[in-house]
Amino acid sequence: MKRAAGYLTFLLVLGGLAWSLDALFPLPAPPRYSPLVLAADGSVLHAFLNPTQKWRMKTELREITPALRTTIIEKEDRYFYYHFGINPLALVQAAGRNVFGAGRTTGASTITMQVARLLEPKERTIGNKLLEMARALQLEAHYSKAEILQLYLNLVPYGGNIEGVKSAALLYFQQPPDYLSLAQTVTLAIIPNRPRGLVLGRNNEAIRAERNRWLRRFGQQGLFAQQDIDDALLEPLDARRHAAPTLAPHLARRLVQQFPGQAIVASTLQRSKQAKAEDLTRNYVRRLHALGISNAAVLVLNNRTRAVEAYVGSADFRDILNKGQNDGVRAVRSPGSTLKPFLYALALDKGLVTPKLLLPDVPTNFGGYRPENFDKHCQGEVPLDRALAYSLNIPAVRVLSDLGVPTFTAKLRAAGFQTVAQRSAHLGLSTILGGCGATLEELSNMYVTLANGGRYAPLRWTNHQQPVPGNVLFSTASAFLITDILAQLTRPDLPVGYETSIRLPKVAWKTGTSYGRRDAWSIGYNKEYTIGVWVGNFSGQGSPALTGSDVATPLLFDLFNAVAYNSPNNWFQPPASLDFRLVCAETGRPPGEHCPNQIIDYFLPGVSSSLRCQHQKEVLLSADAQYAYCRACAPAAGYRRELYPNLLPDVAAFKEAQGIPYRRLPPHNPGCQLVSGGREKAPSITSPAANTEYVLNKGEQQQLLLSCATDNEVRQVSWYINDQFLRTAAATERVFFRPPAGTLKISCADDHGRNTDIRIVVNEL
């Protein structure tokens, strides 16, 4: 009993001493690995040097194949699984050889002892050997055998700044360790003992001879099948140093910064798609250099999983002259017209519009803001689907004015538009034409939202990110309608439509061009993929050729044809929440009393406006049709009823200015005593713009234009400057005058007694 107690006490003291020594002399810090960014299939996309400028890529446990494990253990430490870090028998044998000079001098180092030495390199002395042995015991206490073997394979030297089996496998054989042949595996097993004498690419013949010697030895020991040994002996050795993988440099750098200290980051990128996207982008931009265009960015997204499958931040990461290291996917640029589909989707959900509703496309002054269409022309009135398909600016601004800028920007904030969130208080109607900042990442994800029936969720960059349900931004009905409109455009690569080839993917897409032609966008999607393309210069310099349709769209379809060639071409189907109805062809509204021409249109039951069409109104005329009567002044008899166009004043003014014939109302009965004091149909001053400062050259006698839009019944208007009568003019006449300097009050009164005032400031230089 006393002896047992003594043993127990001894063990407790020994254990306490070991614990104290372990606490006083902790293990060295884990090795610092080269950050690796993997593709979705586990292959290495991009590798970085570690902080000590070495290639030390982490070999994962799954990459240690049975052949690699067997080869290393048999060659370095055949009793690895049986000792506790030190092999006493090997120590005795080594001591005998070293003392008596019998055989090769050896240190009897186990794999664990070699790990200790690699973690803490020291001069080879007896004292340091004892420390090595102590560290080996400590390592065995802290790590499993598999982890110790993994550490060894990550630290073994291969000459120069290459350390670890994975680094050597990738840099010399361009394969990960678990893809190596038996001959390649044995090659990497023999080099660490002589990393300076056996250099791959320089001493290949000597390495092959040494490899074959070990292969024969392994065959004699029965470690591998003889057929495998025979095949390995015949395998040539044509190894040389290759560059480290450098695909997806922008995303790789982004992920390494996002996950500092993490040796391996598994991205969602598809290797083949990434390589193809980089090649297409680089070659395409090379052809644009003559046009003064030097860069492009591309994003390929999987609609179902929202995973990023290709990410091209610039045409050439190494192009310092054109700022190739800038990331065009995250750069905040003017989105041009790419936001219009989301405005119309929101307006559809609010019941403000339907696809065939006619929108005014005429010069309009929105409180001092006067947008223009890209081609500087107006069409009078256009249906919404045409306004979106041809990216007309004026109808889009009108819809945003009706919807309200805060309502629209709130939707963009909900979709993660950071710049909009920061500047929402300062955004106005120009937002829809690119007056806000956006990134390719934000815009592309919004188009994924349309492809997913209006449901938004964040993008996935890494495999460990799980898909999230997200939130609904648009109804499935409006998402389908917008998709249906965007899919009607004629593809630039197929003038007669995509149906000419069953293998090419059907695509819905939208283009955009920023002010000054500094940014060209083209973003498209189908059921499977969304692809976003930006083309431009990181310097911000514009180019006359830089438009979304001419420059960005060809690259978009090159990418779609490469990524989704021969895809199933499943297309979106109308949801049950949509229905059809007849509408008046003149306005796109449900037919009224005088609507003989009718067409079919989609609508959202219970949401879309049911306001009846009133494109014509009944007018009381004198018998000779010289005058019109209102209800108050109509005679008891002797008048007749006729239908006249019920045009908006802006549209009527446009038709007058363009010389477009339309049926205009005759003047109102001059004997009518009723004077309208209401302002709902008062003249709208279209020039000059209200609350605007004009700077004129004093020496050039410059003049300002006075023009207005009026109700159909108005024949003439009177102009006043600072309450002083200027002149009377026809309602559609353009009047010029020489303004005095200072603040001016400009008034316009029509022949019905209705008046409108604006104020401007005139400065002279």
CATH number, domain of 713, equals 2.60.40.10
Q: What is the pLDDT of residue 130?
A: 83
The residue that leads in pLDDT, 752 or 410, is 410
Report how far apart the first and last C-alpha atoms of the chain are (Å, whole number): 114
**Peptide linkage before 683 cis (omega within 30 of 0):** no
Total number of domains in the chain: 3
Q: What is the pLDDT of residue 497?
A: 47
Residue 308 within a domain: no
Percent of the chain whose pLDDT exceeds 90: 60
Residue 175 within a domain: yes
Percent of the chain whose pLDDT exceeds 70: 91
Residues 229 and 347 in one domain: no
Residue 635 within a domain: no
Residues 210 and 354 in one domain: no
Pairing of strands 455-456, 471-472: antiparallel
Q: What is the pTM of this model?
A: 0.85
Domain boundary among 234, 257, 272: 234
- Dump pLDDT digits (tens) for 155-202: 999 988 999 999 999 999 999 999 999 999 999 999 887 877 888 888
Q: How far apart are CA 119 and CA 137, in angstroms?
A: 14
Residues 346 and 200 in one domain: no
* Residue 76 designated active-site: yes
CB 169 within 8 A of CB 184: yes
Annotated active-site residue in 34, 63, 76, 444: 76
What is the radius of gyration, based on Cα positions, of the chain? Answer: 39
Domain boundary among 563, 580, 605: 563
CB 190 within 8 A of CB 198: yes
- Dump pLDDT digits (tens) for 595-617: 889 999 999 999 999 999 988 88
Residues 223 and 344 in one domain: no
CATH number at residue 360: 3.40.710.10
Residues 401 and 518 in one domain: yes
Residue 276 within a domain: no
Residues 358 and 505 in one domain: yes
Residue 424 within a domain: yes
Q: What is the three-class DSSP state of 7?
A: helix
CB 436 within 8 A of CB 420: yes
Domain boundary among 172, 202, 234: 234
> Which range among 274-283, 297-306, 747-756 shows the weakest confidence by mean pLDDT?
747-756
Residue 242 within a domain: no
Residue 246 within a domain: no
- As a whole number, the mean pLDDT across the chain is 88
Annotated active-site residue in 167, 294, 337, 549: 337
CB 763 within 8 A of CB 694: yes
- Dump pLDDT digits (tens) for 75-110: 988 889 988 888 877 676 666 665 555 544 445 689
**pLDDT for residue 653 is more than 70:** yes
Q: What is the pLDDT of residue 419?
A: 94
**pLDDT for residue 663 is more than 50:** yes
Q: What is the pLDDT of residue 294?
A: 95
Q: What is the pLDDT of residue 195?
A: 77
What range does the domain containing 707 cover? 684-764
Q: How far apart are CA 15 and CA 37, in angstroms?
A: 43
Residue 13 within a domain: no
Which pLDDT band, with edges at 50, 70 and 90, does 230 fall under? very high
Q: How far apart are CA 453 and CA 476, in angstroms?
A: 4
Residues 550 and 404 in one domain: yes
What DSSP designation does 548 have?
A: I
Helices (H), 66-203: 66-76, 88-100, 111-119, 126-142, 145-155, 165-168, 182-190
Residues 365 and 481 in one domain: yes
CATH number at residue 133: 1.10.3810.10
* Residue 441 designated active-site: no
Cβ-proximal residues to 52 (8 Å cutoff; 6+ apart), any chain: 32
Residues 423 and 543 in one domain: yes
